[in-house]
Amino acid sequence: MYRLKIVTSFAAAHNLLNYHGDCENLHGHNWKVEVTVGALNLDKAGLGIDFKILKAKTKEQLALLDHKYLNELDCFKGQSPSSENISRFLYHELSRILNNDNVTVEMITVWESDNAAASYYE
C-alpha cells in the first residue's frame, strides 16, 4: 500500500452557527487543505496516482469554495461551514471522483490557521 499527499489552499469567508464568541461573526480564513490517498499498486510509470490528476481534481472542488461566503452554499445549508464540515464535504466529493479499484481517498485535513486543523476520514 502506498500513501500519497498533496497540500493546497483556498480563501473564503464564513461564520459559525450556534456558536457564542468571535467566530459567530462574519470572518475569513486562508484554509490549507491536505488530501491523502492510498494506492494499492503502482502503474507502469511507478505511480499510485499522478499528482497532476490529484491536484487538478482537488482544485476543481476547491473552486466551489474559493472566495465564497460558505454559509450561502447549498452544501453547508443549515450547518456551520466549520473546518470539520469542510473536510467532510471535500472527503465525500473527492471520494466520489477519485476512488477506484486502486486509489482511495483516506483523509482530508483542513487547517484554518497554523495551529488549528480538523480531519475527516471513514
| CATH assignment of the domain containing 51 | 3.30.479.10
The model's pTM is 0.96
Give residue for cell 472566495: 67
What total number of domains does the chain contain? 1
In DSSP terms, 7 is beta-bridged to 34
Domain that holds residue 75: 2-120
Query: Any alpha helices (H) in the chain, and if so which ranges?
Result: 51-62, 83-98
State pLDDT tens for residues 69-119.
999 999 999 999 999 999 999 999 999 999 999 999 999 999 999 999 999
Integer CA distances (angstroms), 46 to 5, 43, 87, in order: 16, 5, 29
| pLDDT category of residue 47 using cuts at 50, 70 and 90 | very high
